[in-house]
Structure 1
Amino acid sequence: MDQLRRSLLESPIIEKEGYHYFVHPISDGVPMLEPSLLREIVIKIIRKARLENVDKIVTPAAMGIHISTAVSLMTDIPLVVIRKREYGLSGETPLFQQTGYSESQMYINDVEGGDNVLVLDDVLSTGGTLSAICAALEDIGANIVDIVAVIKKDDGDNELESSEYSAKTLINVVIEDGEVVIVNPTGDD
């Protein structure tokens, strides 16, 4: 059994305002992230994502940063982090992010019309974050070459699935009876 699968099966589950949430090193930074798990995930992303002609990797703060940084280091593709802080720089694009458990304003810098981008994120749950990012990138005029999320929580409505965008995932899970259950170990639908 690979490390990603094993680590998810061992993840504790917490409930926040009726939302069941697994606690995992990739999505939460706790328990600590072992380099071998991160390496396994990065190799899987590089094998799964369409990387030809990608100019920039785009990821939302904060939990996409460590994954995207590692992919950037391995591929030499520059990294753009979508931040929750406005800097007021020229070309900064705001977007509204709403997930199953929070909402916030985010800001994209350093992406221009015509850029070919790979969107990377840690978890695809409600699709709210990725939908908002894709819409903002489209408004900028960027070309979304591919979208990859490490883990897909596959037990509820997903905004991304009802849009024109689709994401590749490494593994799909549901939470049943207080435990993570793997429904698709390769993420391929």
Structure 2
Amino acid sequence: MSDYPKLHNAVKNSEVIEIVNDDNEIYKFRRFPFGEQGTFMDKELISEITESMAQSIKSEDSKFDYIVSPEPGGHTWGMMVSYVCNKPINILRITSEKDDSKGMPVLRKTAYNHNYMYFDSFKTGDKVIIVDDVISSGTTIKSIIKHLLTLGVEVIGVQVILVKGELYKNIESIYHIPVKYLIKD
């Protein structure tokens, strides 16, 4: 556990909260400080995550044009990593209501809610790396990849902070896209 000591500690000490999902069921959600419901992070954890993700992505530097990151958990990390890597970013914005004026909406279903991701400013032939916080079931990343492919965008890889279990391997086997992560829970 010498790699990423601050990150391992953050995962170990994360709290579990109960969220009532859209189907009125209780979902036990681990609130990681670096995830979509996290709040406080010390600068050492921010630095450890940002520098480690950027280092992982830099090996692919000449192969991609920009980073794609979804709200709510990935876009913060995508912005920091894009800055360190000196690459542009395209943020997938999220709303709870469908709004065609914001771009092309794609329904995003998770274990605890449903919302819409908006795809804007993509061009056929773009080459991207997706940066997100956590992969649990993989449904968010799979829906992003599927839609990007319909737009003619080539996904070079996926970089996340944490994968839960082995479901991330489905992304690799279905789409033949490497998924890199800092730690596994």
Normalising to structure 1: TM-score of the pair? 0.80
In 2, the alpha carbon distance for the partners of 1:29 and 1:169 equals 19
Matched length: 171
Which residue matches 1:133? Answer: 144
| Higher fraction of helix | 2
SS of residue matched to 1:8 = helix
Partner of 1:82: 92
Q: CA offsets per residue over residues 84-139 of structure 1, 9 Å max, x none?
A: 244636xx433221122222221111111111101010110111110010011101
Decide whether aligned partners of structure 1 residues 18 and 167 sit closer, same or farther in structure 2, where only a CA change above 3 A counts: farther
Of 28, 38, 51, 1:30 maps to 38
Within 2, Cα distance between the matches of 1:163 and 1:96?
Answer: 20
Q: Which runs of 5+ in 1 are unaligned?
A: 174-189
Cα distance in 2 between the residues matched to 1:40 and 1:157: 22
Letter in 2 for 1:54: F
Instruction: Kindly provide the amino acid, as one letter, of the partner of residue 7 in structure 2.
Output: L
Partner of 1:152: 163
2:22 maps to which residue?
Answer: none
Instruction: Point out where structure 2 has 5 or more consecutive residues left out of the alignment.
Output: 20-24
Distance change in 2, residues 1:148/1:158 (3 Å) = same
Listed as ranges, the matches of 1:94-113 within 5 Å are 94-113=105-124
Structure 1 residues 159 and 76, CA, compared in 2 at 3 Å: closer, same or farther?
Answer: same
Answer yes or no: is 1:12 the counterpart of 2:24: no
Between stretches 16-25 and 134-143, larger displacement belongs to 16-25
Q: 1:161 to 1:96 in 2, by over 3 A?
A: farther
- How big is the alpha-carbon RMSD for the aligned residues of Structure 1 and Structure 2? 2.2
User: 1:162-177 alignment to 2 at 5 Å?
Assistant: 163-164=174-175, 165-173=177-185
- For the pair 1:93 / 2:104, whether they are aligned, the reply is yes
